[in-house]
Amino acid sequence: MLKTQLQSLTDVTLVDQLGFIKAEIAHLQDQEKAIKEQIIAQGFGSYSGQMFDVTVSPSTRDTLDMEAVRAKLSPQFIRAHTNTTSFTTVRVTARKGN
């Protein structure tokens, strides 16, 4: 989008609103992480608040070592089994000096 088109976004307030929301989300995620750590420190089990319940349980996750896969499979095989998707990216950065 050209800068002149961007100006039509209600004097760029949409851009600033997005930036503020992303900053708020980051702060909330930090709070969430800290609270989760405190709950996890209580040990496995179920915990109840006045409005929500939480269950802490052990879990496992299998992951694929792509570096090892690439070393063992040919580039042609990997290309033949790679899916490409298109999407739109929106990156928000704080302006310096503000």
pLDDT values of the chain reduced to their tens digit, one per residue, 98 residues = 455 555 666 666 888 889 999 999 999 999 999 999 999 999 999 999 999 999 999 999 999 999 999 999 999 999 999 999 998 988 888 888 76
Alpha-carbon distance 7 to 17, whole Å? 14
- Rg over CA atoms, the chain: 22
Per-domain residue ranges of the chain: 3-80
E strands, 23-68, are: 45-48, 53-56
Total-model pTM: 0.69
Alpha-carbon distance 28 to 22, whole Å? 10
